[in-house]
Amino acid sequence: MMKRSLFLSLAAGAALAVSPAFAQEAAGTGLPADGIWIMNTLLFLMGGFLVMFMAAGFCMLEVGLVRSKNVSMQCTKNIALFSLASVGYYLIGYTLMYPGDNWMHVGYLASLDPFAQLEAVGLADGADAADYASTGSDFFFQLMFCAATASIVSGALAERIKLWPFLIFTFVLTAVIYPIQASWKWGGGFLDTDYGFQDFAGSTVVHSVGGWAALAGALVLGSRMGKYKDGRVNPIPGSSMPLATLGTFILWLGWFGFNGGSQLAMGTLGDAGDVSRIFANTNAAAAGGVLAAVLLTQVLYGKVDLTMVLNGALAGLVSITAEPLTPTIGVASLIGAVGGIIVVFAVPLLDRLRIDDVVGAIPVHLFAGIWGTMAVLLTNTDATLMGQVIPIAIVGAFVFGASLVVWLVLRLTIGIRVTEEEEMMGLDAAEIGIEAYPEFGKGSQFM
Amino acid sequence: MKLIIAIVKPFKLEEVREALTNIGVQGMLVSEGKGFGRQSGHTEIYRGAEYAVTFVPKLKLEIVVSDDLAASVVDAIATTAKTGRIGDGKIFTLNVEQAMRIRTDETGPDAL
């Protein structure tokens, strides 16, 4: 993805390292250099605002799957986390993630000098690479991925976490944890140079990172009251299936920018063709995930479970994210379908382990993220088994460990969980003071 | 006068109302409620875990009629609300001591 390609190409002394396997330079005169730069920049901008809208998708999905007494809280968390990620990624994150030659420990940790300084934007002073895209568009695009990582955490911890500790964690995740591990692959760090790790748009670098952080949080936070009682699992149905479905469709749309934009270039016939192919494959994987979940829940439970189907769509999308270019459309559907199957089995598995993940973020982003990263091996000959497995484990250990420490420190200092009474009352009343549906009469706050 | 309280399945309301107006009933009160009977609810599956729906949605109809109409009201409700499956509901008939129309101060069957 983006700069990763740039650094790769610089290292190789070549031009843009864009999937030579698929780039077919058909007969044509080609764009002048300015045109290529403009098209690449345009791809980042379009991809970036599509991924930005995924923040809305996560928000709607989450509010649909929580009870009505916690809806305002979920909305507040989502818009605040996006904004915090925007600041944290600017102050520290971007510098940590894309050090160029400016490493503190080469391949592992970037230097933070200069602090909070986005490279000057524009070609005039040589700040922007003439064969890449504008730095502003690159920053904008990268920021959205960072924010998506934080959104993943929010859903898993819903309905019992306090607002401020969550926001503090979000800042640490987006400013420090995410950028450091992302520099290992996309910033040209050791996972890229030593392992040849292949993760096109971030099944591991983005999705499983969010999943690991969510898992650590869910373990430290504990389950919602009444979810596991007397050795039984007590489902807590969400408040709005239409909103959850809308959120899933928005995420699905945003994913075209997520994966398509990660081609990092659209200035040649080959790149434009690849971007289109990525769009088609991304869609196919989501559809595969949906259909697998529809069939499987029908067979297992006698009825189709809509919430699992929505998770299936997202699991399909996460599964194709590590390699959305090289599979055929048919193979992409199957990769997505396996993601959908993983979700249907992983959701009850987490319940058996007493890990309360309100929206299924861990099955979707962590489990399907690992699967998607392994699925690269099916179609991309550049990937090696150990080159995928070891980075998955390294990123997992780092993110889970770092997140666990932050969550534990927060729990021991300011506390991360609301009181039992506040939890029963609902976080809208307890933490926010605004009910999502004040005139709807008796909602779940009375149950 | 008799007060007839009927607990019926919600989707049967329109059929029941039509049958009752056809035999001359001029008013009724409907409330939404949840309850359980001998069936004790049923189970559903959400995200892979089974849970009991202990209270099933029902409608409560309250109708006050003159004594001579009571039997046919009960009959009309029983006929139209019946599906033959579990959970069709129940009908209770109670004596009513007095009735009064607030607007006109009429009392007894005239107030119905």
Query: What residue in B sits closest to A351 (Cα-Cα)?
Result: B49
Query: What residue in A sits closest to B47 (Cα-Cα)?
Result: A308
Q: What share of chain B is helix, strand, coil (3-state, %, to 5)?
A: 30, 40, 35
Look at residue A355 and tell me whether its pLDDT is greater than 50. Answer: yes
Task: Note whether residue A17 is domain-resident.
Answer: no
| Residue B23 phi, psi dihedral angles, 5° rounding | -95, 10
Mutation site for B-interface testing, chosen from A61, A229, A234 by largest number of B Cβ within 10 Å: A234
Euclidean distance between the first and the last CA atom of chain B, given in angstroms as a whole number: 9
- B63's enclosing H/E stretch is strand B56-65
The H-assigned helical ranges of A66-134 are 71-88, 94-97
Residue A237 and residue B49: Cβ atoms within 8 Å? no
Look at residue B12 and tell me whether its pLDDT is greater than 60. Answer: yes
Task: Note whether residue A411 is domain-resident.
Answer: yes
User: Quick one: average pLDDT of A78-88?
Assistant: 96
Query: What residue in B sits closest to A308 (Cα-Cα)?
Result: B47
Task: Note whether residue A38 is domain-resident.
Answer: yes
Look at residue A235 and tell me whether its pLDDT is greater than 80. Answer: yes
The nearest CA of chain B is from the CA of A349 a distance in Å of 9
Measured between beta carbons, which residues in chain B are less than 8 angstroms from residue A351? 47-49
Look at residue A53 and tell me whether its pLDDT is greater than 70. Answer: yes
Q: What is the DSSP string of A404-443?
A: HHHHHHHHHHT-SB--HHHHHH-HIIIIIS--SSTTS-S-
Who among A235, A300, A347 is closest to B51 (CB)? Answer: A235
Query: What residue in B sits closest to A299 (Cα-Cα)?
Result: B48
Residue A34's beta-bridge partner residues?
none
User: Quick one: average pLDDT of A81-91?
Assistant: 94
d(CA A247, CA A266): 28
- What domains are there in chain B, each with its CATH number? 2-111 (3.30.70.120)
Residue A344 and residue B48: Cβ atoms within 8 Å? yes
pLDDT tens profile B36-75: 888 777 888 889 888 888 888 999 999 999 999 999 999 9
Residue A233 and residue B46: Cβ atoms within 8 Å? no
Who among B48, B50, B51 is closest to A347 (CB)? Answer: B48
Any idea which of A230-234, A320-324, A380-384, A407-411 has the lowest mean pLDDT?
A230-234
d(CA A180, CA A203): 16
Who among A302, A344, A348 is closest to B49 (CB)? Answer: A348
Who among A237, A300, A344 is closest to B46 (CB)? Answer: A237
Measured between beta carbons, which residues in chain B are less than 8 angstroms from residue A344? 48
Give Cβ neighbours of residue A17 (< 8 Å, ≥ 6 apart). A5, A8, A9
pLDDT of residue A5: 43
Residue B46 and residue A303: Cβ atoms within 8 Å? no
Q: How far is CA A25 from CA A36, A130, A268, A272, in A?
A: 14, 20, 8, 11
The nearest CA of chain B is from the CA of A60 a distance in Å of 18
pLDDT tens profile B17-43: 999 999 999 999 999 999 988 877 788
Residue A303 and residue B45: Cβ atoms within 8 Å? yes
pLDDT tens profile A122-172: 555 556 777 788 888 999 999 999 999 999 999 999 999 999 999 999 999
**b/e map of A179-200 (b: 16 or more CB within 10 Å)?**
bbbbbbbbbbbbbbbebebbbb
The nearest CA of chain B is from the CA of A290 a distance in Å of 15
Of residues A135, A137, A153, A146, the one with CA closest to residue A88: A146
Look at residue A57 and tell me whether its pLDDT is greater than 80. Answer: yes
The nearest CA of chain A is from the CA of B28 a distance in Å of 24
Task: Note whether residue A105 is domain-resident.
Answer: yes
Hey, is A194 helix, strand or coil? coil
Task: Note whether residue A19 is domain-resident.
Answer: no
pLDDT tier at A26, thresholds 50, 70, 90: low
How many domains would you assign to chain A?
A: 1
Residue B47 and residue A302: Cβ atoms within 8 Å? no
Residue B44's beta-bridge partner residues?
B51
Of residues A424, A427, A8, the one with CA closest to residue A191: A8
Residue B48 and residue A234: Cβ atoms within 8 Å? no
Task: Note whether residue A117 is domain-resident.
Answer: no
**b/e map of A382-393 (b: 16 or more CB within 10 Å)?**
ebeeebbbebbe
Residue B46 and residue A347: Cβ atoms within 8 Å? no
User: Quick one: average pLDDT of A43-68?
Assistant: 97
pLDDT of residue A125: 57
The nearest CA of chain B is from the CA of A311 a distance in Å of 10
Residue B47 and residue A234: Cβ atoms within 8 Å? no
Residue B48 and residue A237: Cβ atoms within 8 Å? no
pLDDT tens profile A388-400: 999 999 999 999 9
Of residues A264, A243, A262, A265, the one with CA closest to residue A254: A262
d(CA A217, CA A357): 10
CATH of the domain at A365: 1.10.3430.10
- The C-alpha R_g of chain A, in whole angstroms, comes to 21
Residue A305 and residue B48: Cβ atoms within 8 Å? yes
Look at residue A251 and tell me whether its pLDDT is greater than 90. Answer: yes
Domain containing A336 equals 2-11+33-110+123-438
Which amino acid makes up residue A137? S
pLDDT of residue B53: 83
pLDDT tens profile B68-108: 999 999 999 999 999 999 889 999 999 999 999 999 999 99
User: Is A142 buried (19+), middle (13-18) or exposed (0-12) by CB count in 10 A?
Assistant: buried
Query: What residue in B sits closest to A345 (Cα-Cα)?
Result: B48
d(CA A97, CA A37): 22
pLDDT of residue A135: 85
Who among B47, B50, B51 is closest to A308 (CB)? Answer: B47
Q: Give the ipTM of the model, two decimals please.
A: 0.70
Residue B48 and residue A360: Cβ atoms within 8 Å? no
